[in-house]
Chains A and B, each alone.
Chain A
């Protein structure tokens, strides 16, 4: 196997005295889509924060494309080709759609190209180019957020709770986009609390609980063996 695009070794992180990540080990192979599943409070979002450089780890190593990236700031990582779509509203609500897209060019792609890609994937955004992003529906805001992943051709795409607060139909639509991105060869780590949406597009899955990865494998196996943990009684 070639060098994994993301390799995390024995990662620890804490909020104050409370340790949230307690030795996370995870590998995302190049070109693969990895779904990271786990219940509420498992530490998934914290892991995203540490990997994306928004939060400092207390110990452990992160290798991105074979490069050790311990204390890099999130803006440096972003320019290196790590595209993070954080949970919740990941657009600037008081800027227009077009202004949001303009800022996406910081990742290294010219503004015109960003606009073109975004508008060709999501014609709805073109219609609303001068509307404030905050006034759009949740689904449209996520489309806008996904435009960054689409246009910047990242080395690794980190998606945190893409489906949060969205109707199933729209989530399906978004995951179709994720599949498209994956087909273009982009490696993706997508964090989801609800397994089935994410597993539809994933090549591998990992389960996190209590600040550790407790299982990794192919989606079907993981779903079967860990359904208790992931889904509880929901399915």
Chain B
């Protein structure tokens, strides 16, 4: 039974580290309502900092530890609360998710920039010591970790229940306004809980790094384990979080010990935390609809159909010109940009219109590509079938979280991404371990599009068609209901909309769009593998989409080009690779609050130009009959301009009743009374 004991101790050790990280996560979430996706990334960066202090600069171990846990980490936590996440808790969950994903990506980029890849070792604490328990040797580092987790648990309990500031932390969850009237400072309290939370992330990172190594991604993604543990305590109970963390640690350890080390089942070992997270989320109780949501969110203006057609034709023309002029290597990049743009269009639907966040959109593209390659039907039928399969998978991911809301949906996509990455895509029936698959370029109506130029043009055609379809949808019933759902879920529910299934459908549709892009991408490249659809790449995708404007087709197109350029930039200046990520991540942090992004700035610029120069140009043109720019002229720069077609039609058919005949007073009747 020696192995059972040793695996239990190993499990307790990892569980203890998870518990430390997870209690920090729970602390920050309960006091500020911001779910910090970047919790693990902070742990990673601070573990690197610890290495820097203790190994590179040679400070004594204890001093480095005190500096990191007592100074650097709390300072970062304070700074983040003060300048980044303050006030995010009351906003829509999609914004706080995007901002913390921005931190996540930015921190990884920062770490790569400051500490370029090279082997680094953080020695375990008291490396030489340990005790012998029967046939099992327990290292001092393991004992220290387990003891520390207990100390953290007790200290947090004492803080929250026995001190005034801890009491204030709990009070500020209930009613920060009242706390202020008491003379307390909710902001200080929040900053303190972030300081402690980040310190705990750092402690967990430092304790784990001797075991799993100083790696950018491994340490960062450990956060998923912390999520899973925290989720067991429903993000509020510290004791349950502790239990969850220990249980997960032991489960993971046993999975390594007792599951077969080859074959399909071996994949499970790597995804135990993701599965755990999935199961816990599914078991969460039904969320109740929130009343008093954020409403009337402004979104980017909707172009009129002729305008959209015009831009679409322009884009096609441009791609056709490029196809004629460029070499195959450059054309591959153009095709890649088109793929990314299509995946981003799927985010426009899901995030921009629907207000949901997917952290694994690339994985859906991967499903589409895999299906396309496996089907081996290089034609329209095969492509559509691939998209349908991806849509089905998307719906399947959303299905278990049918009853839950934004945050949990996003987290379940995260678990799904990891699951696919480590288990499915690597499996023999898929791409195989580090393997690739061949995919043929498709033929349309028997006409094989073999040349890269032709194929890229075809992809551009799909992009334009998808964009037009999306705009058409936005104008119709679906778009209206989506906006309504975003403005007031409670009202939609009481009007009889089954939002659960609607959400599943929306998710499926969005995954299908990504899948279609994936299928086309497979044809473009000819050879694809799991590496093309790594889960992590979904995060920069999301960020670029938000930065460029996730509410508009223009934003998606810009984002697609931007995402294609990222690796190009990175390979041309490898030393700046991390910096690019950092800029993107922190850019998203800065811009995350406005999902209309850069595209909206362009629109504003366009309107400004239109207003400044337009009249002069138009005065020299013959007057065009019919509908001349009804929508864009007013100063509704940031205002949604829905359905100008419908409105125009309605006005023609049913002219609005004159205000005087209405039983209700005319608009703004009370203005005079309030004017002074």
Interface: A4 (CB within 8 A): no
**One of B164-172, B409-417, B504-512 contacting the partner:** B164-172
**One of A62-70, A74-82, A188-196 contacting the partner:** A74-82
Interface: B180 (CB within 8 A): yes
**One of B96-104, B182-190, B434-442, B599-607 contacting the partner:** B182-190
Given the complex of chains A and B, what is the CA–CA distance between A31 and B56 in angstroms?
Answer: 66
The 8 A CB mask of B252-269 against A (1 = contact, 0 = none) is 000000000000000000
Asked if A54 and B674 make an inter-chain contact with CB atoms under 8 angstroms apart, the answer reads no
Please indicate the chain B residues that have their CB under 8 angstroms from the CB of A111 in the complex: 164
Contact of B180 among A75, A90, A92, A93 (CB under 8 A): A75
Please indicate the chain B residues that have their CB under 8 angstroms from the CB of A102 in the complex: 164, 167
Please indicate the chain A residues that have their CB under 8 angstroms from the CB of B674 in the complex: 14, 17-19
B7 to chain A minimum Cβ distance, whole angstroms, is: 40
Interface: B494 (CB within 8 A): no
Within A68-98, which residues are at the interface with B (CB < 8 Å)? Answer: 73-75, 78-79, 84, 86, 90, 92-95
Interface: B177 (CB within 8 A): yes
Please indicate the chain A residues that have their CB under 8 angstroms from the CB of B646 in the complex: none
How many interface residues does B have (CB within 8 Å)? 21
Please indicate the chain A residues that have their CB under 8 angstroms from the CB of B167 in the complex: 95, 99, 102-103
A194 to chain B minimum Cβ distance, whole angstroms, is: 23
Asked if A75 and B174 make an inter-chain contact with CB atoms under 8 angstroms apart, the answer reads no
Within B172-211, which residues are at the interface with A (CB < 8 Å)? Answer: 174-175, 177-186
Please indicate the chain B residues that have their CB under 8 angstroms from the CB of A86 in the complex: 178, 181
Please indicate the chain B residues that have their CB under 8 angstroms from the CB of A74 in the complex: 177, 180-181
Given the complex of chains A and B, what is the CA–CA distance between A79 and B670 in angstroms?
Answer: 40
Given the complex of chains A and B, what is the CA–CA distance between A106 and B175 in angstroms?
Answer: 16
B667 to chain A minimum Cβ distance, whole angstroms, is: 12
Given the complex of chains A and B, what is the CA–CA distance between A52 and B175 in angstroms?
Answer: 16
Asked if B164 and A54 make an inter-chain contact with CB atoms under 8 angstroms apart, the answer reads no
Asked if B183 and A78 make an inter-chain contact with CB atoms under 8 angstroms apart, the answer reads yes
Please indicate the chain B residues that have their CB under 8 angstroms from the CB of A52 in the complex: 181
Nearest to A152 among chain B residues (CB) is B183
Asked if B171 and A106 make an inter-chain contact with CB atoms under 8 angstroms apart, the answer reads no
Contact of B182 among A17, A18, A19, A148 (CB under 8 A): A148
A104 to chain B minimum Cβ distance, whole angstroms, is: 6
Interface: A213 (CB within 8 A): no
Within B632-676, which residues are at the interface with A (CB < 8 Å)? Answer: 670-671, 674, 676
Given the complex of chains A and B, what is the CA–CA distance between A94 and B170 in angstroms?
Answer: 8
Asked if B168 and A103 make an inter-chain contact with CB atoms under 8 angstroms apart, the answer reads yes
The 8 A CB mask of B291-302 against A (1 = contact, 0 = none) is 000000000000
Given the complex of chains A and B, what is the CA–CA distance between A53 and B170 in angstroms?
Answer: 22
Within A15-71, which residues are at the interface with B (CB < 8 Å)? Answer: 17-19, 22, 52-54
Within B220-245, which residues are at the interface with A (CB < 8 Å)? Answer: none
Contact of B164 among A53, A103, A108 (CB under 8 A): A103
Asked if A78 and B171 make an inter-chain contact with CB atoms under 8 angstroms apart, the answer reads no
Please indicate the chain B residues that have their CB under 8 angstroms from the CB of A17 in the complex: 671, 674
Asked if B182 and A103 make an inter-chain contact with CB atoms under 8 angstroms apart, the answer reads yes
Asked if A95 and B180 make an inter-chain contact with CB atoms under 8 angstroms apart, the answer reads no
Asked if A75 and B183 make an inter-chain contact with CB atoms under 8 angstroms apart, the answer reads yes
Nearest to B163 among chain A residues (CB) is A102
Asked if A107 and B182 make an inter-chain contact with CB atoms under 8 angstroms apart, the answer reads yes
A74 to chain B minimum Cβ distance, whole angstroms, is: 4
Interface: A177 (CB within 8 A): no
Asked if A75 and B184 make an inter-chain contact with CB atoms under 8 angstroms apart, the answer reads yes
Please indicate the chain A residues that have their CB under 8 angstroms from the CB of B179 in the complex: 75, 92, 103
A94 to chain B minimum Cβ distance, whole angstroms, is: 6
Please indicate the chain B residues that have their CB under 8 angstroms from the CB of A78 in the complex: 180-183
The 8 A CB mask of B153-167 against A (1 = contact, 0 = none) is 000000000001001
Please indicate the chain B residues that have their CB under 8 angstroms from the CB of A84 in the complex: 181
A149 to chain B minimum Cβ distance, whole angstroms, is: 11
The 8 A CB mask of A120-142 against B (1 = contact, 0 = none) is 00000000000000000000000
Contact of B183 among A22, A79, A93 (CB under 8 A): A79
Please indicate the chain B residues that have their CB under 8 angstroms from the CB of A14 in the complex: 674
Asked if A90 and B183 make an inter-chain contact with CB atoms under 8 angstroms apart, the answer reads no
Nearest to B168 among chain A residues (CB) is A103
Please indicate the chain A residues that have their CB under 8 angstroms from the CB of B676 in the complex: 22
If A18-B674, A75-B185, A102-B164 touch, whether A94 touches B174 (CB-CB below 8 Å) is yes
Asked if A106 and B183 make an inter-chain contact with CB atoms under 8 angstroms apart, the answer reads yes
Nearest to B175 among chain A residues (CB) is A92
B104 to chain A minimum Cβ distance, whole angstroms, is: 32
Given the complex of chains A and B, what is the CA–CA distance between A11 and B674 in angstroms?
Answer: 14
B214 to chain A minimum Cβ distance, whole angstroms, is: 42
Given the complex of chains A and B, what is the CA–CA distance between A73 and B170 in angstroms?
Answer: 21
Asked if A104 and B180 make an inter-chain contact with CB atoms under 8 angstroms apart, the answer reads no
A75 to chain B minimum Cβ distance, whole angstroms, is: 4
Interface: A105 (CB within 8 A): yes
Asked if B180 and A105 make an inter-chain contact with CB atoms under 8 angstroms apart, the answer reads no
Given the complex of chains A and B, what is the CA–CA distance between A180 and B226 in angstroms?
Answer: 54
Asked if B171 and A95 make an inter-chain contact with CB atoms under 8 angstroms apart, the answer reads yes
Given the complex of chains A and B, what is the CA–CA distance between A92 and B186 in angstroms?
Answer: 14
Given the complex of chains A and B, what is the CA–CA distance between A84 and B185 in angstroms?
Answer: 15
The contact sample of 28 A-B pairs, CB cut-off 8 A, is: A17-B674, A18-B670, A19-B674, A22-B676, A52-B181, A53-B180, A54-B177, A54-B181, A74-B177, A74-B180, A75-B179, A75-B181, A75-B185, A78-B181, A86-B181, A90-B181, A92-B171, A92-B174, A92-B175, A93-B174, A94-B174, A99-B171, A103-B179, A104-B182, A105-B164, A106-B164, A106-B182, A106-B183
Given contacts A17-B671, A106-B168, 13 further A-B contacts (CB under 8 A): A14-B674, A54-B177, A75-B186, A78-B183, A86-B181, A92-B170, A94-B170, A99-B167, A99-B171, A103-B171, A106-B164, A106-B184, A111-B164
Seen from chain A, the residues whose Cβ lies within 8 Å of a Cβ on chain B are 14, 17-19, 22, 52-54, 73-75, 78-79, 84, 86, 90, 92-95, 99, 102-108, 111, 148
Nearest first, the 10 A-B pairs at minimum CB distance are A106-B183, A78-B183, A74-B180, A75-B180, A107-B183, A92-B171, A106-B184, A19-B674, A79-B183, A84-B181
